[in-house]
Amino acid sequence: GAVVSQHPSWVICKSGTSVKIECRSLDFQATTMFWYRQFPKQSLMLMATSNEGSKATYEQGVEKDKFLINHASLTLSTLTVTSAHPEDSSFYICSAPGWGTGYTFGSGTRLTVV
């Protein structure tokens, strides 16, 4: 079945630094990738949609200069949290349209900014 590999699974970074999260579709081509953020005990909130070869579409209220999304190939989409601050600490998860099950989720990245 469709698999999306997400790395890293967890990361701790200092305030002011940048962190890159990768999502790779292993056995299919993902022309679209959805990026979600989930704060503790809350729902998954869509941040942006990346499309291979074009600019990402950001949801209202999401700073595109802070959350840089790149979808340079059919199998790789990346989210870079720039100048991270403690309030950016969250669970970030990607999702791609898969086969059969509709959407294939990555395993998520727990980001802690100290």
Question: Where along the sequence are the contacts to other proteins (CB under 8 A)?
Answer: 32, 34, 42-46, 49, 91, 93, 95, 97-98, 101-103, 105-108, 110
What is the smallest separation between the CB atom of 101 and other proteins, expressed in angstroms? 5
- C-beta of 32 vs 82, nearer to other proteins: 32
Best CA proximity match to 33, nearest among 80, 2, 70, 68: 70
Tokens 């870079």, residue located: 80
Work out how close the CB of 33 gets to other proteins at its nearest, in angstroms, rounded to a whole number: 11
SS3 5: strand
Q: Quick one: 60 or 114, whose CB is closer to other proteins?
A: 60
Residue placing its CB nearer to other proteins in the complex, 19 or 92: 92
Closest by CA position to 4, among listed 92, 95, 109:
95
What's the min distance (Å) between Cβ of 96 and other proteins?
Answer: 8
* Residue 99, both tokens: 């086969």
Nearer to other proteins among residue 80 and residue 108 (C-beta): 108
CA–CA distance, 56 with 49 (Å, rounded to integer): 6
The DSSP 8-state label assigned to residue 12 in this structure reads E
CB of 16 to other proteins, least distance (A): 26
- Partnered with residue 63 across adjacent β-strands are none
